[in-house]
């Protein structure tokens, strides 16, 4: 592989979480998105959840208007979300599992067990020109199914790897990292573009960034938290530096 580019997609959901905590108009996720662009983000990611707990429909309207970098719209595979995506036609759509009661996207999407429904679901999005991604655990069955249904991308869920790291379970973390490496290679062999994300921090990003098949990382919660201490631009610039160092 000669192209070693690794893009950074900055997820701005939790700017909206803070805004919504007080039902105010600030902090403004659009302002955060523009700052992220200035700091070197290659794309902006936003998850329009069914319960609208953070990003709102108006935020998506605004992002489509103001962004100069691509928008990656994360969404569940529902008719409502499909209609919204088809109305906006963002650069990318990432299909994620969604449960109302979860605090965050807890596991990967079950593609293998829901292949024909998901194939039908993504077909109009592909026809509309959206780059469709499936957010999956590092599991062979999910990756092979994603390739069969015509997804362009798989985003590998790094949550388990990050949780093991945080819990000090080094052997489990390293096993999960091996799985991520193996599954990134498999996905690339199947012709899928490979992304990764969820739970990544300054401490965990480099081994993932070093996986050569991975072209994009999507990172949000840690960066928005770190922005409290060092400012958003600086928080993003440091993540970018660590990614480049790992890639170098
Ligand atoms: N990728 C996907 C598909 C996600 O659902 C999320 C969380 O919304 C992320 C990446 C970013 O995760 P985090 O906010 O933990 O960095």
CATH number at residue 25: 3.20.20.70
Tell me what pLDDT residue 2 has: 44
Query: Would you tell me the crossing angle of helices 170-189 and 159-166 to the nearest 10 degrees?
Result: 160
Beta carbon of 54 within 6 Å of any ligand 1 atom: no
Give residue 33 CA to ligand 1 midpoint distance, Å.
15
Which of 14, 54, 74, 88 is an active site residue?
A: 74
Residue 50 within a domain: yes
CA angle 93, 99, 100 (to 5 degrees): 110
Within a domain: 221: yes
Q: Which pLDDT value is given to residue 4?
A: 64
Q: Give the Å distance between the CA of 125 and the centre of ligand 1.
A: 21
Cβ–ligand 1 contact at 223 (below 6 Å): no
Q: Where are the beta strands (DSSP E) in 68-192?
A: 71-75, 92-95, 131-136, 153-157
- pLDDT score recorded for residue 1: 42
What does the block give as tokens for 194? 């490979």
Contact indicator for 17, 53 with CB cutoff of 8 Å = yes
In a domain, 177, yes or no: yes
User: Which residue is it, tokens 């798989």?
Assistant: 154
Which residue has its alpha carbon closest to ligand 1 atom 9? 198
User: In the prediction, which pLDDT does 106 show?
Assistant: 73
Q: How far apart are CA 209 and CA 193, in angstroms?
A: 14
Does residue 13's CB lie within 6 angstroms of at least one atom of ligand 1? yes
**Structural domain contains residue 162:** yes
- Catalytic annotation present for 198: yes
Domains of the chain: total:
1
Query: How many Cβ atoms sit within 10 Å of the Cβ of residue 245?
Result: 12
pLDDT in tens, the chain (248 residues): 445 689 999 999 999 999 999 999 999 999 999 999 999 999 999 999 999 999 999 999 999 999 999 999 999 999 999 999 999 999 999 999 987 666 766 789 999 999 999 999 999 999 999 999 999 999 999 999 999 999 999 999 999 999 999 999 999 999 999 999 999 999 999 999 999 999 999 999 999 999 999 999 999 999 999 999 999 999 999 999 999 999 98
Mutation probe of ligand 1 site: the residue of 94, 220, 222, 242 with most atoms within 8 A of C-beta = 220
Please state the atom number of ligand 1 nearest to the C-alpha of residue 155.
Answer: 3
Give pTM, 2 decimals: 0.96
Residue 107: predicted pLDDT: 83
From the DSSP assignment, how many helices (H) and strands (E) are in the chain?
11, 8
Q: Which residue among 51, 53, 198 has the greatest number of ligand 1 atoms within 8 angstroms of its CB, and so is best to mutate?
A: 198
Contact 209, 6 (CB under 8 A): yes
Asked if 195 is an active-site residue, the reply is: no
Cβ of 134 less than 6 Å from ligand 1 = no
The reported pLDDT for the residue numbered 3 is 57
In the reported structure, the alpha carbon of residue 201 is separated from the centroid of ligand 1 by a whole-number distance in angstroms of: 12
Q: Is the CB of 226 under 6 A from ligand 1?
A: no
Could you list the residue range(s) of the whole structural domain that residue 177 is in?
7-247
Give the pLDDT of residue 98.
Answer: 87
At 47 the three-state DSSP class reads strand
Domain annotation covers residue 2? no
Is position 209 within any domain?
yes
Residue 1 within a domain: no
d(C-alpha 220, C-alpha 235), whole Å: 11
CB 69 within 8 Å of CB 44: yes
């Amino acid at each position: 592989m000669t192209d070693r580019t690794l893009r950074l997609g900055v997820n701005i959901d939790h700017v909206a979480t803070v805004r919504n905590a007080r039902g105010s108009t600030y902090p403004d996720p659009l302002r955060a998105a523009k700052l992220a662009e200035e700091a070197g983000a290659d794309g902006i990611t936003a998850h329009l959840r069914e319960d609208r707990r953070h990003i709102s429909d108006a935020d998506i309207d605004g992002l489509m208007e103001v962004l100069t970098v691509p928008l990656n719209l994360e969404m569940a595979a529902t008719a409502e979300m499909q209609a919204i995506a088809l109305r906006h036609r963002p650069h990318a759509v990432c299909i994620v599992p969604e449960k109302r009661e979860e605090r965050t996207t807890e596991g990967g999407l079950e593609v293998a067990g829901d292949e024909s429904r998901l194939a039908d679901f993504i077909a109009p999005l592909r026809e509309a020109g959206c780059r469709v991604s499936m957010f999956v655990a590092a599991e062979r069955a999910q990756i092979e199914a994603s390739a069969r249904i015509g997804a362009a991308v798989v985003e590998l869920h790094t949550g388990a790897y990050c949780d093991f790291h945080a819990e000090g379970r080094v052997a489990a973390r390293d096993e999960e990292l091996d799985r991520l490496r193996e599954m990134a290679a498999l996905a690339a062999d199947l012709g899928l573009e490979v992304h990764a994300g969820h739970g990544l921090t300054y401490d965990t990003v480099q081994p993932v960034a070093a996986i050569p098949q991975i072209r994009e990382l999507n990172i949000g919660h840690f960066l928005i938290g770190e922005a409290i201490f060092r400012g958003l631009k600086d928080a993003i610039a440091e993540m970018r530096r660590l990614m480049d160092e790992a890639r170098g």
